[in-house]
């Protein structure tokens, strides 16, 4: 028995209107779940972008001994310039270091009056070519052993902690997304199963006259697909609303300095909408397919 498009659309429409309350609940659940999935994706992307920015701005600070001789400073400078792991070098002499010191501690006049330019070490501000914490730490260890170097400073452990936190957050985002999608699949499954049960006598008649299982299943599978796509459509609107609210309330707001660093692009928003659209379609098709298959076994 051939499957006609008009038959599928008619049966699907009847199923959607016959169980309107359950249908509305399923679509709303899918919409809320997918909106939260999209929001989690955007926040995770924003945190990753923030972390990449943090890593790209990391500097290696090579402090020279205050008593370091000029040839020792020149030797370290040449070694930094020749190192393939170094991208940029900025040398701070005593006068420049003292100007920075005065700016940083301008609210502590007693400290400023007790320190002179001669008391402060010269230093090299180094931007590594790699942002990997292990590579930069190895570079720092190499220069820490050179003659005339007082110490090398780099927030390696801080970067590792931030990276671990980001990885943990991404795992939680994935877990939350899977749980929410699973809940949507279960609700669509129950909705379709209820629709199949309500039409069980009609289905038995169709089977008696020789209708194939795919002929009977198709309207229910399309119904589940509609649930998923309509939920994804509502979730797309929710995603755009979430993006607008985040941009207005947190981005470039002094009161939320931490959240201000979590940013994403319009391309990320489009990616989130495409992702939840695909997930919505798969969720509806899988949930309805399982529900119908359990009732109509070949």
Which is nearest to 236 in space by CA: 7, 21, 39? Answer: 39
In the block, residue with structure tokens 């201000």 = 260
pLDDT above 90 as % of the chain = 6
**Dihedral, CA of residue 123, residue 124, residue 127 and residue 133, to nearest 10:** -50
Between 92-101, 118-127, 286-295, the lowest mean confidence (pLDDT) is in: 286-295
- Cα distances (Å, whole numbers) of residue 80 to 1, 27, 156, 205: 78, 61, 19, 84
Summarised one tens digit per residue, pLDDT across range 45-95 is: 887 776 655 555 567 788 888 788 888 888 888 888 888 888 888 888 888
- Class of domain 59-154 (CATH, top level): alpha beta
**Dihedral, CA of residue 131, residue 134, residue 137 and residue 138, to nearest 10:** -110
Between 10-24, 73-87, 267-281, the lowest mean confidence (pLDDT) is in: 10-24
Between 140-144, 195-199, 244-248, the lowest mean confidence (pLDDT) is in: 195-199
* pLDDT beyond 70 at 298: no
Q: What pLDDT does 200 receive?
A: 67
For residues 135-146, give the mean pLDDT.
81
First to last CA, the chain: 16
Which is nearest to 226 in space by CA: 262, 253, 260, 191? Answer: 191
Helix runs in the chain, H state only: 5-18, 20-56, 70-82, 94-104, 109-114, 133-144, 156-198, 200-208, 213-249, 257-260, 266-295
Between 49-63, 95-109, 178-192, the lowest mean confidence (pLDDT) is in: 49-63
Tell me the Ramachandran region of residue 63: left when phi exceeds 0, alpha when psi lies from -120 to 50, beta otherwise. Answer: beta
In the block, residue with structure tokens 């671990």 = 164
Q: What pLDDT does 234 receive?
A: 93
pLDDT above 70 as % of the chain = 73
- DSSP annotation of 145 reads T
Q: Are 122 and 68 in contact (CB under 8 A)?
A: yes
Pick 181 or 3 by higher pLDDT. 181
Q: What pLDDT does 1 receive?
A: 47
Distance CA 257, CA 244 (A): 18
Distance CA 244, CA 183 (A): 27
For residues 9-31, give the mean pLDDT.
73
Q: What pLDDT does 260 receive?
A: 64
Pick 133 or 281 by higher pLDDT. 281
Which is nearest to 186 in space by CA: 82, 3, 33? Answer: 33
In the block, residue with structure tokens 């209820």 = 194
Q: What pLDDT does 162 receive?
A: 65
Q: Evaluate if pTM is beyond 0.75.
A: no
Which structure tokens are listed for 58? Answer: 């990391």
Q: What pLDDT does 109 receive?
A: 77
Summarised one tens digit per residue, pLDDT across range 152-173 is: 887 665 666 666 776 777 778 7
* pLDDT beyond 70 at 206: no
In degrees rounded to 5, what are phi and psi of residue 124?
Answer: -115, 130
Q: Are 184 and 229 in contact (CB under 8 A)?
A: no
Summarised one tens digit per residue, pLDDT across range 215-262 is: 667 777 777 788 888 889 999 999 999 988 888 877 665 555 556 667
- DSSP annotation of 256 reads G
Distance CA 22, CA 86 (A): 62
- DSSP annotation of 209 reads T
Burial-class residue 67 by CB neighbours within 10 Å (0-12, 13-18, 19+): exposed
Give residue limits of the domains in the chain. 5-54+160-295, 59-154
Distance CA 117, CA 292 (A): 81
Q: How confident is the model at residue 271 (pLDDT cuts 50, 70, 90)?
A: very high
- DSSP annotation of 252 reads T
């Amino acid at each position: 028995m051939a499957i006609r498009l008009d038959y599928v659309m008619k049966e699907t429409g009847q199923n959607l209107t016959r169980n309107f309350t359950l249908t509305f609940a399923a679509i709303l659940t899918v919409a809320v779940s997918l909106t939260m999935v999209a929001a989690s994706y955007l926040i995770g992307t924003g945190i990753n972008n923030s972390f990449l920015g943090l890593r790209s701005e990391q500097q290696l600070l090579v402090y020279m001994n205050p008593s370091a001789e000029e040839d020792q400073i020149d030797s370290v400078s040449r070694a930094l310039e020749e190192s393939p792991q170094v991208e940029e070098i900025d040398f701070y002499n005593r006068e420049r270091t003292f100007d920075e010191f005065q700016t940083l501690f301008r609210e502590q006049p007693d400290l400023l009056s007790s320190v002179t330019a001669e008391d402060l070490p010269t230093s090299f501000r180094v931007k590594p070519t790699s942002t990997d914490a292990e590579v930069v730490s190895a570079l720092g260890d190499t220069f820490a052993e050179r003659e005339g170097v007082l110490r090398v400073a780099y927030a390696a452990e801080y970067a590792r902690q931030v990276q671990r936190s980001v990885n943990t957050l991404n795992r939680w985002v994935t877990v939350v997304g899977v749980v929410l999608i699973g809940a949507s699949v279960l609700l669509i499954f129950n909705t379709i199963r209820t629709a199949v049960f309500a039409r069980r006598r009609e289905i038995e008649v169709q089977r008696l006259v020789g209708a194939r299982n795919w002929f009977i299943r198709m309207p229910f599978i399309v119904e589940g697909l509609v649930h998923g796509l309509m939920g994804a459509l509502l979730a797309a609107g929710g995603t755009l609303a979430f993006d607008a609210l985040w941009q207005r309330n947190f981005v470039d707001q002094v009161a939320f300095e931490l959240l201000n660093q979590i940013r994403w692009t319009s391309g990320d928003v489009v990616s989130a909408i495409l992702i939840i659209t695909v997930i919505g379609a798969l969720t509806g098709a899988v949930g309805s397919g399982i529900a119908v298959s359990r009732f109509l076994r070949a």
